């Protein structure tokens, strides 16, 4: 075949492949059993995969083998280590599992802790009950052991901040940075940073524009939201 014939042949193969992929994604394709293929939500492949809690050796020298958290539909993990103890903390967005309260929607934020540098872990805990969908966890730990956390409680009120002084057993009342009586009125995607001793806390988020709120009393109170970008789009 000459070059043009080869190009035509390749295009035909790509066209057929693309149509097959489209049929599968739209559920037109069928399993061998004759049942329609489930359309993925884009959130979970749990129904189509097997999660095995079997260790897999790490390819990186000095690293422990990987371990599955719990076989749930978990996304967006965050981790922080206490610089003054053997405690390690993890948070994740969970789309499956038991509901934290009657009628609470998924996803929810899950928290767990380890007192032995991550060798073993305590039970999963809901960070806070909410009637809103939760996403985007962030976590930091100060040198005095205080845990600082942020997450998204839907877009309105949006980003929330809280802290724990007893290794995650209990948490402070959540602080919000947006809502009906505030500017901006909604917020999305938090980013959290603290000074080593936890005195200075910086909570960044976006609401079309970029904002940051800061605290200089360990998160007890925050100043006004400061818009950090100069464009008008």
23 and 134 together in one domain: no
Is 216 within a domain? Answer: yes
Q: Is 48's pLDDT higher than 60? A: no
| 188 in the same domain as 137 | yes
pLDDT score, position 15: 45
In a domain, 88, yes or no: yes
Q: Per the domain annotation, does 128 fall within a domain?
A: yes
For residue 89, the enclosing domain spans 66-227
**DSSP 3-state assignment of 162?**
strand
What's the start-to-end Cα distance of the chain, in Å? Answer: 54
Check residue 103 and give its pLDDT. Answer: 76
Same domain for 101 and 26, yes or no, is no
> How much is the pLDDT for 101?
82
Whether 21 maps to a domain, the answer reads: yes
Mean of the per-residue pLDDT values for the chain?
82
Mean pLDDT on 77-96: 96
Q: Tell me what pLDDT residue 16 has.
A: 40
pLDDT at 55: 59
Query: For residue 161, how far is the Cα from the chain centroid?
Result: 15
- Here the tokens at position 174 are 């959540």
Do the beta carbons of residue 109 and residue 122 sit within 8 Å? no
Within 10 angstroms of residue 198's Cβ, the number of other Cβ atoms is 20
pLDDT band per the 50, 70, 90 thresholds, residue 40: very low
Q: Is the domain of 30 the same as that of 106?
A: no
Give the pLDDT band (50/70/90) at residue 98.
confident
Examine residue 49 and state whether it is found in any structural domain, yes or no. Answer: no
Cβ count within 10 A of residue 139 = 21
pLDDT grade for 231, boundaries at 50, 70 and 90: confident
pLDDT at 36 over 60: no
Contact 105, 132 (CB under 8 A): yes
**pLDDT tens, residue by residue, 164-220:** 999 999 999 999 999 888 889 999 999 999 999 999 999 999 999 999 999 999 999
- Number of folded domains that form the chain: 2
Q: What pairing do the DSSP bridges indicate for beta strands 209-215 and 226-227?
A: antiparallel
- Statement to judge: residues 19 and 118 lie in one domain: no
Contact 49, 71 (CB under 8 A): no
Output 199-204 pairs: Cβ under 8 A, ≥24 positions apart: 201/148, 201/161, 203/150, 203/159, 203/161, 203/177, 204/228
More confident residue, 105 or 151: 151
* pLDDT above 70 (res 14): no
The answer as to whether 50 is a domain residue is no
Is residue 145 located within the same domain as residue 88? Answer: yes
Residues 23, 72 within the same domain: no
24 located within any domain: yes
CA distance 66 to 118: 11
pLDDT band at residue 64 under the 50/70/90 scheme = confident
Selected residue with higher pLDDT from 122 and 3 = 122
Is 44 part of a structural domain of the chain?
A: no
**Nearest by Cα to 198 from 98, 83, 92:** 83
Could you tell me the pTM of the whole model?
Answer: 0.76
Whether 84 and 194 map to the same domain: the answer is yes
Mean pLDDT of 88-95: 96
Asked if 146 contacts 163 with a C-beta cutoff of 8 angstroms, the reply is yes
Distances, alpha carbon 112 to alpha carbons 9, 53, 122, in Å: 55, 17, 6
């Amino acid at each position: 075949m000459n070059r043009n014939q080869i190009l035509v042949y390749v295009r035909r193969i790509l066209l057929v492949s693309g149509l097959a992929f489209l049929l599968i994604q739209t559920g037109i394709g069928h399993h061998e059993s004759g049942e329609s293929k489930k359309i993925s939500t884009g959130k979970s492949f749990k129904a189509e995969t097997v999660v095995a809690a079997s260790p897999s050796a790490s390819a990186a020298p000095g690293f422990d083998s990987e371990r599955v958290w719990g076989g749930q539909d978990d996304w967006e993990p965050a981790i922080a280590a206490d610089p003054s103890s053997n405690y390690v903390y993890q948070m994740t967005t969970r789309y499956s599992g038991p509901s934290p309260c009657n009628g609470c929607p998924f996803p929810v934020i899950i928290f767990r802790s380890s007192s032995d540098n991550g060798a073993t872990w305590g039970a999963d805990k809901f960070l806070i009950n909410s009637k809103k969908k939760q996403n985007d966890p962030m976590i930091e730990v100060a040198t005095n052991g205080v845990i600082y956390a942020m997450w998204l409680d839907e877009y309105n009120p949006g980003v929330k901040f809280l802290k724990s002084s007893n290794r995650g057993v209990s948490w402070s009342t959540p602080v919000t940075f947006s809502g009906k009586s505030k500017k901006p009125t909604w917020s999305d995607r938090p980013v959290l940073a603290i000074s080593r001793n936890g005195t200075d806390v910086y909570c960044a988020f976006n609401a079309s524009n970029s904002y940051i709120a800061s605290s200089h009393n360990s998160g007890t109170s925050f100043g006004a939201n400061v818009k950090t970008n100069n464009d008008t789009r």
